[in-house]
Structure 1
Amino acid sequence: MWRNAASVGGLTLVSRLFGFVRDVAMAALLGAGPLADAFMVAFRLPNHFRAIFAEGAFNAAFVPRYAAVLTTEGEAGARRFSGAVLSLILIVQAVLLVGALVFMPAVVTLLAPGFTDTPDQFATTVDLTRITFGYLALISVATFVSGMLNAHERFAAAAAAPILLNVCMIAALGLARHFPTVAHALAWGVLISGFVQLAYVVWDLWRSGRRLVLAKPVLSPDIKKFLRAFGPAVLGSAGVQLAMFADTIIASFLPTGSVSYLYYADRLYQLPLAVIGIAIGVVLLPDLSKKVAAGDEKGVRDGLNRALEGIFILTLPCVAIFLLMAEPVIAVLFGRGAFDQAAVTGSARVLEAYAVGLTAIVALRALTPAFHARGDTTTPVLALGAATLVNIALKIALMGSFGAAGLAFGTAAGAWVNALILAVLLARAGRLTFDQRLIRLVLLAIAASFALAAVVTGLEPFAERFTDLIPAFPDLVPVALKLGLGGAAYLLVMALGWKAISRKSGSIR
């Protein structure tokens, strides 16, 4: 499981590095003004729908069912099932795309009502969203193909495909002078990337000896089971996106730049979430599904423990860094050109609030598959419903005093509520028991994170002496110094603690 997760995580990291290159260029050219906010909404809208109908919900319903059909009926049965599902996807996406293009002003009004007070910004947002929305249909089919590949334990192509989105957007920025605005260039880059990503995963499917086929979408028993699982999964994904919709809607009423603050902070927050959380979620679901089918309950519990210990070990140092170094890190990455000090400070406050919920939201990538592997897509929806109420209530309560950072804190609190509910339900059902190895390593990771924080804080006066070493990037050397030595302290404490635990218990493998 961890070998596959490392493969997915490594490719996701490459994608995020390309994404940072893209975002650095975007920040310099777009800044955090009205045009940037318009593009952020246009970029978020198809991604919201993708997350609802494609990645989260679709994988939760399709991968276990496809794997079951493949096991019981072989390649021929899996081909018939996947062909019928593909036909359904194409029908739904065609209807959604036509409806969105026709009613786009109403859609944008719903998503960003605050923009209606500035007609030029509203009109630009509508134009940009009409360009980007076609990306949804393309990436939905690409997600379907990726699900097939994952079920056959081919993870690399699906994990690498997002790299192509960033490459296309970087190329679009280089050609921006040929478009009305930089935002229009980026919108076309997003759409083109949909074609490129789809072609890439279809090529990998062809390499595996399989083909895309269309079949009449008859309501066979397998299709009915898929739809019964897909319905609650959509509601669950929709709940997550509802909270994000709420961020965009509320932020559109906040001072100009708030939508952009959320975006740039989210880019950093998403790095550990993507590299760790997505990698674990993608690999853990088929792994747990096979163990559940084989009746290996001990293997299920062990897999969850190993996933959770990895999540705590890898996310806790990120939490410490985001809480202590948000502003200098954002300044180094984005603080140039049109991205001024106000944008740096605003984005940093949002990142600090997001950091509070980082471990919880990554842990959901392990806890939720524990239900989906058993075909239970309803329980996570109920837990998410309670968490979403907390999330949105806090957003509304905190937006006035804390602006965009209040929205981010609501997201963090909701993630903890969601994770705790799922963990309690799994524990009560006897499907999650925290073994001694997990408990000891979590406590060790907490101690190592405090060591990291102490080093970073203690280095503050010393590191400031190097701010003028590279005048164009005054924060670069201090940030690198604190990250390097703080990370070394974390690793040292983890290594020493691991040895001490191993000697005490003999073996914790």
Structure 2
Amino acid sequence: MRDAVRRLVLGGLVGKLLGLLREVLLAAAYGTGVPTTAARVAQTGTLVPVDLFTADVLTAGFLPLHKELLTTDPARAATLFRGVRVALRWLAAVLTLGSLALAPAVVDLLAPGLAPATAATCAQFLRVMALGIPSYLQFSLLSYLEISHGGFRLSSARATAQNLGMLLALGLAWVLGEPVVLAGGFAAAYLVLHAWGYRSVRARGFLPAAGGGGGRELRSRLWRRVRPLLLLPVVLQGSVVAERVVASLMGDEVVAAVDYARFVATTGVNLVAVPLGLAGLAALAGLGTAAARERLAAILPGLLLVVAPVSVVLAVGSSPVVEVLYARGAFDAAAVATSASVLAGLGLGFWAQSCAYVLVKALNAADRNRVAAGSLLAGLVVTLVLNVALHAWLGPVTLGLASSAGAVVTAAVAAHALGVGALLWRWVGACVPVAGAAWLLCGRLPAASGWPGLLGVGGCVLVVFGLAAALLPPWRRVVRSLVR
């Protein structure tokens, strides 16, 4: 598991650095203007239906079942793979043709508050992005096939390749003066990834030539694994759509600003929690309850000591963070204020988002998909309700606060189900006074923006958490384990 996490972290780090460069250049070129809004809405319109039908089928259904069959009946594992691949081809055809034909209606559903000209541009972007759906689905299946065989090359390269494609498209769009080229970067990146992924798994012998029968029984087993999760993608994607709707009602620029803030908050989750979660699907599968609980008990304290200081920095220093990353070119003061407001709300729950991801993937690995679905559903319902109920009073910060509240609920439910709830809250309780002290110390700093403000906040947080780690014996033991 350690080697898998290391590979995924390194691959994710490169991808996130390229993603950061993409966001910085996008902010400088278009700010929170129409092209950025169109790109955000079109990507949501492309991925929401894809993830609605496939996300849990691949992660919680195909991957654990395929890995199990590889050791007991490789021929039936091949049958499972081939059946899922054919199903994804048909799904891709339906979704692609549907997006091409119904793009304006999809945009109206996702962002009803947009100006007519902005909505028309979004529909144009959506039609171009939709061309990448077939390759997106097939590459996703190939990457999970590789994980089942113990490989992580495709998964670690995914973010890097996607961001490279979008960077090249951004440069071309700027040179040509045609913003719609931005949408082509997504489709082109996955066409290349699909071709490379197919060649990679075939060269290493992971791609089965033929199946061994038993297709009906395998479909039944896959259905039993996925059935408890059927409501989950509906609520999950519904929450994504609701966020877009709420953001559009607060203004076109809020739709673009939300993703600038969310990129910052999700970077840490992707670098730390996602590798642990994906590797956990393979490493925790088959472990007994006690062994899995022991493994999680070793992971969670270290994870919290890494993400808790980041939460404080994002919540307290949201404005300097946004200024350092984005405040140049077309990204004006209004864009900074809107993005920083959302980021402050996300920062409050950054620690919970990281823990929730790892805990839910641990439930998936233990084939407790019904409980995993329940924990996510609880959090998503909280997020949805708060977004709808509070946006008119609190403004853009609602989008961040609602997401954080939902993550806390998901983490609490999943931790309780795994038997590590008491451990999680004991360590959260230990972090709260330290985070509070850091917050108060940051509040006494002279007002500063940009790099001086960010360095001041980051330095205060580092000093306070560093002293706690030096003075508290349990923290010292966890830090030594992390260093090792």
TM-score where L is the length of structure 1: 0.86
Cα 1:64–1:238 shift into 2, 3 Å: same
Q: Name the stretch that deviates more: 151-160 or 43-52.
A: 43-52
Paired letter, 2:309 = P
Deviations 1:307-327 (A, max 9, x none): 322331221111100111000
SS in 2 for 1:240: helix
Paired letter, 2:11 = L
Equivalence for 1:92: 91
Equivalence for 1:490: 465
Whole-angstrom CA distance in 1 between matches of 2:69 and 2:344? 45
Deviations 1:12-54 (A, max 9, x none): 1221111010001000111112332122101222233343334
In the TM superposition, 1:419-434 aligns within 5 A as 419-427=411-419, 432=420, 434=422
Asked if residue 120 in structure 1 is aligned to residue 117 in structure 2, the reply is yes
Asked if residue 243 in structure 1 is aligned to residue 239 in structure 2, the reply is yes
Whole-angstrom CA distance in 1 between matches of 2:363 and 2:434? 32
Deviations 1:54-102 (A, max 9, x none): 444421111110011111113x332222111111111111122112211
Equivalence for 1:162: 159
Equivalence for 2:409: 417
Give aligned-pair identity as a percent. 26
Deviations 1:178-237 (A, max 9, x none): 54533x121011110111222333343234322265769974212221133234435323
Deviations 1:133-185 (A, max 9, x none): 22232121111111111112212331222111111111112212454533x12
Equivalence for 2:100: 101
Tell me, yes or no, if the aligned pair for 1:42 and 1:129 is still in contact at 8 Å: yes
Paired letter, 1:52 = L
Tell me, yes or no, if the aligned pair for 2:261 and 2:343 is still in contact at 8 Å: yes
Q: Name the stretch that deviates more: 156-165 or 374-383.
A: 374-383
Tell me, yes or no, if the aligned pair for 2:261 and 2:342 is still in contact at 8 Å: yes
Cα 1:217–1:250 shift into 2, 3 Å: farther
Whole-angstrom CA distance in 1 between matches of 2:192 and 2:327? 31
Consecutive unaligned residues of structure 1, counting only runs of 5 or more, are 465-473, 504-508
2:286 alignment partner, one of 266, 270, 290: 290
In the TM superposition, 1:364-379 aligns within 5 A as 364-379=356-371
Equivalence for 2:269: 273
Asked if residue 72 in structure 1 is aligned to residue 64 in structure 2, the reply is no
Tell me, yes or no, if the aligned pair for 1:445 and 1:494 is still in contact at 8 Å: no
Tell me, yes or no, if the aligned pair for 1:258 and 1:404 is still in contact at 8 Å: yes
RMSD: 2.7
Asked if residue 53 in structure 1 is aligned to residue 57 in structure 2, the reply is no
Whole-angstrom CA distance in 2 between matches of 1:441 and 1:417? 16
Q: Name the stretch that deviates more: 488-497 or 155-164.
A: 488-497
Tell me, yes or no, if the aligned pair for 1:87 and 1:214 is still in contact at 8 Å: no
Deviations 1:233-279 (A, max 9, x none): 35323322211110101211212311012111101011111112211
- The alpha-carbon deviation at position 443 of structure 1 amounts to 5.4
Whole-angstrom CA distance in 2 between matches of 1:502 and 1:411? 32
Equivalence for 1:136: 133
- The alpha-carbon deviation at position 498 of structure 1 amounts to 4.3
Tell me, yes or no, if the aligned pair for 1:307 and 1:366 is still in contact at 8 Å: no
Deviations 1:326-349 (A, max 9, x none): 001101100111110111011111
Equivalence for 2:481: none
Equivalence for 1:258: 254
Whole-angstrom CA distance in 2 between matches of 1:155 and 1:122? 39
Tell me, yes or no, if the aligned pair for 2:348 and 2:404 is still in contact at 8 Å: yes
In the TM superposition, 1:83-482 aligns within 5 A as 83-115=82-114, 118-177=115-174, 179=176, 181-182=178-179, 184-211=180-207, 219-291=215-287, 296-427=288-419, 432=420, 434=422, 445-446=431-432, 448-450=434-436, 452-453=438-439, 456-458=442-444, 460-461=445-446, 464=448, 475-482=450-457
Whole-angstrom CA distance in 2 between matches of 1:484 and 1:204? 44
Tell me, yes or no, if the aligned pair for 2:113 and 2:251 is still in contact at 8 Å: no
Cα 1:476–1:217 shift into 2, 3 Å: farther
Paired letter, 2:367 = G
Tell me, yes or no, if the aligned pair for 1:157 and 1:201 is still in contact at 8 Å: yes
Whole-angstrom CA distance in 2 between matches of 1:374 and 1:133? 35
Cα 1:210–1:499 shift into 2, 3 Å: closer
SS in 2 for 1:114: coil
Q: Name the stretch that deviates more: 373-382 or 156-165.
A: 373-382
Number of residues of Structure 1 aligned to a counterpart in Structure 2: 479
Whole-angstrom CA distance in 1 between matches of 2:305 and 2:153? 24
Whole-angstrom CA distance in 2 between matches of 1:441 and 1:256? 40
Cα 1:454–1:155 shift into 2, 3 Å: farther
Cα 1:217–1:325 shift into 2, 3 Å: farther
- The alpha-carbon deviation at position 476 of structure 1 amounts to 2.2
- The alpha-carbon deviation at position 287 of structure 1 amounts to 1.5
TM-score where L is the length of structure 2: 0.90
Paired letter, 2:87 = L
Cα 1:434–1:151 shift into 2, 3 Å: farther
Whole-angstrom CA distance in 2 between matches of 1:168 and 1:199? 14
Equivalence for 1:506: none
Cα 1:199–1:489 shift into 2, 3 Å: farther
Tell me, yes or no, if the aligned pair for 1:83 and 1:215 is still in contact at 8 Å: yes
Paired letter, 1:483 = G
- The alpha-carbon deviation at position 122 of structure 1 amounts to 1.6
